[in-house]
Amino acid sequence: MLKAISKFSLLFLIPSLCLHAAHAQKASAQKESAQSPSAQTLPCQWKAVSSEHQKPKPKVALVLGSGGARGYAHIGVIDVLEQNGIRPDMIVGTSAGSIVGAIYASGKTPEQMKNIAMDLKSDDVRDFTLSKQGFFNGQKIANYVNAQVDNTLLENMKIPFYVVATELKSGQDVVFRQGDTGKAVMASTSIPSMFVPTKIGEQEYVDGGLVHPVPVSIAKQLGADMIIAVDILARPEHTETSNVWGLFNQNINIMQNRLADYEVKQADIVIRPDIREKAHVFSVGSRTQTIQAGEVAAQNQIDQLQKALIAKKNQLQAEHDDLQVCQH
């Protein structure tokens, strides 16, 4: 049973607190909208003047999805992107993706991230508890993540970083963008019935993968021009269902895959590592294979990605030129 629990709960790379909840996010979004009005609602002359000082560079979002120990694959994807000169302007992570996203956004290189993955020990992130709400407390995950990011707050990340979680009582998605990084990741990775919900202020939060297993729509709301989504969810056809934990896994896989299929349609590029490894989450061999699966999947998409980037730049250039014509 511990092995099965680890598969879901030991998410591999696993001050005052000032985290935004739903109302704060809406207020912030409204404020940002007021400061940066949509071009479609502005007079032609105003748009043309402001556009003179803007270069047509697309804002690229890297969306890292949930998937437990399969999250090691995110490192392989990031490595290939970096090797090809592709560095995101923002990162949106949920569950396992929030752990990798936090470490990458803090400034760690892919090589450093691989070393961190290989050095991870079960006691670094595993904290059993006696509670009616779950087997694990989750505080060790928060502490571990904060140690890896040098206690950098979300708003001070080198790459803008956003963590997706679910508010337990309402079931609404929440995007953390300020405050304690480890605590936000702890909330995003709190798998119901396994982890005790993460309490922040008066609210309790659970796994972001419940509502956004691959949070592409969040990236769009945050203003991304181009979205690279990494889907590491287990495919239902490869899930063992001969025991109670396998059935539990399958229920989650079916639910999350349906949600993910809907969201990834909004992405420009979708990278899906082929991960069928069933070894223990703390097996070094398993980590290596999963990272490599991410590398292979990203490399297979790199030509299409480069073409999509060029097309997006050309589109923005054309819009920029139209504004110049509009001015005259």
pLDDT digits (tens, 9 = 90+) for 111-162: 999 999 999 988 888 888 888 888 888 899 999 999 999 999 999 999 999 9
- Taking alpha carbons only, the member of 238, 281, 296, 284 closest to residue 68 is 281
Residue 39 has pLDDT above 70, yes or no: no
Rounded distance between C-alpha atoms, residue 130 and residue 196, angstroms: 10
Beta strands 90-94; 161-167: pairing state: parallel
Catalytic residue check, 207:
yes
Higher pLDDT: 35 or 59? It is 59
DSSP alpha helix (H) spans, the chain = 2-9, 22-35, 44-51, 72-83, 96-105, 110-119, 122-125, 139-148, 181-188, 216-221, 244-264, 284-327
- Taking each helix axis as running N to C, give the angle between helix 284-327 and helix 72-83, from 0 to 180 degrees, rounded to the nearest 10: 50
Active-site pick, 51, 66, 95, 98: 95
* Tokens (6 digits) for 110: 């892919």
Rounded distance between C-alpha atoms, residue 132 and residue 53, angstroms: 57
Residue 46 has pLDDT above 80, yes or no: no
Active-site pick, 180, 207, 231, 268: 207
Catalytic residue check, 122:
no
List, for residues 174-188, the tens digit of each pLDDT value.
999 999 999 999 999
Q: What are phi and psi of 18, to 5 degrees?
A: -140, 75
Per-residue model confidence (pLDDT) at position 2: 35
Residue 70 has pLDDT above 50, yes or no: yes
- Taking each helix axis as running N to C, give the angle between helix 110-119 and helix 284-327, from 0 to 180 degrees, rounded to the nearest 10: 150
Alpha carbon separation from 248 to 7, 146, 200, 268 (Å, rounded) = 12, 31, 28, 32
- Taking alpha carbons only, the member of 15, 34, 37, 90 closest to residue 59 is 90
Confidence of residue 319 (pLDDT cuts 50, 70, 90): confident
Considering only 87-101, 123-137, 138-152, 257-271, which range has the smallest mean pLDDT? 123-137
